[in-house]
Amino acid sequence: MKNTITRRKFLATVGLGAGAAALAACGAPTAAAPAKGPAGAPATASGKLEIFSWWTNGGEVDGLNAMYDIYKKSYPGVEIINAAIAGGSGAGGNAKAVLKTRMLGGDPPDSFQVHLGRELIDTWAVADKMENLNDLYKSEGWNDSFPPGVIALASDKGNAYSVPVNIHRSNVIWYNTKLFGQIGQNAAPATWDEYFSIAEKLKAKGIPMAAMSGSGAGFQGHEFENIALATLGYDGYMGLFSGATSWGDAKIKSSFETLKKMLDYSVPNYAALDWGATDPLVVEGKAASDIMGDWTNGFYKSKNFTDWGWAPAPGTKGIFLALSDSFGLPKGVKNKDNVINWLKLCGSKAGQDAFNPLKGSIPARKDADLSKYDSYQKQAISDFATNKIAGSIVHGAAAKESFVNDYNNVIAEFVTTKDVAGAHQKLVDAAKVAGYK
């Protein structure tokens, strides 16, 4: 018998594995080098500034770089380290995982991108990982420049913990005007009834109404929150998180029914598609519409796609379902003064008007320079100022991350099982765990 050989091989494999693990550990982001000298006088700020985000492609990078350029002009002595990792949002977010290991390991980046709202508060602020930014808000006059709803999302018990740089709208239906034109339709559906009557007409022509994703979690939850917002209305939706509305409400159940019906009018191969595959379907003419956030505007631009129209998602006119990216100051960072300067830039008019036109979002401030924005953004800016603001679940604004995870899982399963009662019960259970009614 050659068991000795096999055992040696076995041990060799184990050794290999351990070696690989050690290598992987070496590859992990190491601690930022200590700041060179005291960063005392602001004019001669030096040292480093590490900015962590999940902005790695297209307009997001351009926007981030535009802010870096302004920062470098003001503080030429500071070296900016761009610690961006692809894949932040949605299920399996790599960037968030890296961020968590660094934060828990006592090696926070100098400042990091975080969704404004419960993600910021319940994950980081309550765990005492963030510095209170009230003084900065006061000295920069931000209490007047940001809308109160945005400040509320950035705050816990009256203390602000991060600086919002942008606002995205997530309740938008994007449609292909050519496909809609084939059935003589020239506007987006204003209600779900209208949505399905258009969908029926398109189906007769063999065109799927909805871009859909069945693989992985996140997209389905995005559709569901749009449906729930339309079904419950603004007050009903907000009540889900304040305790005024029960998750057991019959309207939640009928939201599941609507999502189920939507699947009948979706692209046939949606089971294999993940979130990122949905936007291209409308561009390629494979689906007539997509209920998606307004980063889609940026995507269309990058594809030079012009045959599109948009409207608030069916039944959500007058409501702005929002999410926002922000930056904060983690406790125990090495380059605190440099971070404060970075946060000042993030919250400034100059910073926001440099970042947002490129990123495709709108500024969180009330005083944007409208000339810098495209026609969609101008309308979004005006809607943001006049509409009721609700927070998105999937995008971290309305609910804490553990609930978002459960919520996404339940709805991802539902898209396959189509079991309305079962999914509703699971969602109610998840809400109970999260402390909702």
Residue 271 as a binder of another protein (CB under 8 A): the answer is: yes
Does residue 323 contact residue 397 with C-beta atoms inside 8 Å?
yes
Minimum gap (Å) between residue 126 Cβ and another protein: 6
Using CB under 8 A, which of the segments 118-126, 178-186, 228-236, 348-356 binds another protein?
118-126
With 0-12 / 13-18 / 19 or more C-beta atoms within 10 angstroms meaning exposed / middle / buried, residue 61 is: middle
Question: Exposed (0-12), middle (13-18) or buried (19+): which is 267, by Cβ within 10 Å?
Answer: buried
CB atoms < 10 A from the CB of 216, how many?
16
Q: Which is nearer to another protein, 123 or 278 (CB)?
A: 123
Residue for token pair 């902005």: 55
Q: How far is the CB of 359 from another protein (least distance, A)?
A: 24
Q: Look up residue 413 and give its amino acid.
A: E
Helix H or strand E segment including 99 = helix 94-104
Annotate 277-299 with three-state secondary structure. Answer: HHHHHHHCCCCCEEEECCHHHHH
> Is the separation of the CB atoms in 384 and 368 below 8 Å?
no
Q: Are 77 and 46 in contact (CB under 8 A)?
A: yes
Nearest approach, Cβ of residue 207 and another protein (Å)? 17
285: contact with another protein by CB under 8 A: no
Smallest separation, CB 253 to another protein (Å): 19
Q: What amino acid occupies position 49?
A: L
The one among 46, 53, 111, 123 contacting another protein by CB under 8 A: 123
Residue 168 interacts with another protein (CB under 8 A)?
A: no
By beta-carbon proximity to another protein, the closer residue of 35 and 103 is: 103
Q: For residue 415, state whether it binds another protein (rule: CB under 8 A).
A: yes
Q: Which residue has the tokens 């379907």?
A: 281
Among residues 100, 138, 178, 432, which is the contact residue for another protein, using CB under 8 A? 100
**What CA–CA distance (Å, rounded) separates 9 from 314?**
62
User: Residue 11, interface with another protein (CB under 8 A)?
Assistant: no
Q: Which is nearer to another protein, 6 or 191 (CB)?
A: 6
Confirm if 274 and 213 have CB atoms less than 8 A apart: yes
426, 427, 428, 431: which one binds another protein (CB under 8 A)? 426
> CA 207: distance to chain centroid?
30
**How many binding residues for another protein (CB under 8 A)?**
44
Is the CB of 283 or the CB of 354 nearer to another protein?
283
Cα 26 from Cα 267, distance rounded (Å): 44
Q: Does 419 bind another protein (CB under 8 A)?
A: no
Using CB under 8 A, pick the residue from 59, 60, 96, 354 that binds another protein. Answer: 96
Interatomic CA distance for residues 286 and 284, integer angstroms: 6
Q: Is 205 in the site for another protein (CB under 8 A)?
A: no
Work out whether 405 is an interface residue with another protein (CB under 8 A). Answer: yes
The CB-of-93 to another protein minimum distance in angstroms stands at 6
Question: Between vectors from CA 278 to CA 92 and to CA 305, what angle results, nearest 5°?
Answer: 130
Q: Which stretch binds another protein (CB under 8 A): 51-59, 185-193, 354-362, 403-411?
A: 403-411
298 is an interface residue for another protein by CB under 8 A: no
Residue 335 CB, nearest distance to another protein (Å)? 24
Q: Please give the residue ranges that form the binding site for another protein (CB under 8 A).
A: 1-3, 5-7, 9-10, 13, 91-93, 96-97, 100-101, 122-124, 126-129, 214-217, 269, 271-272, 274, 400-402, 404-406, 409, 412-413, 415-417, 426
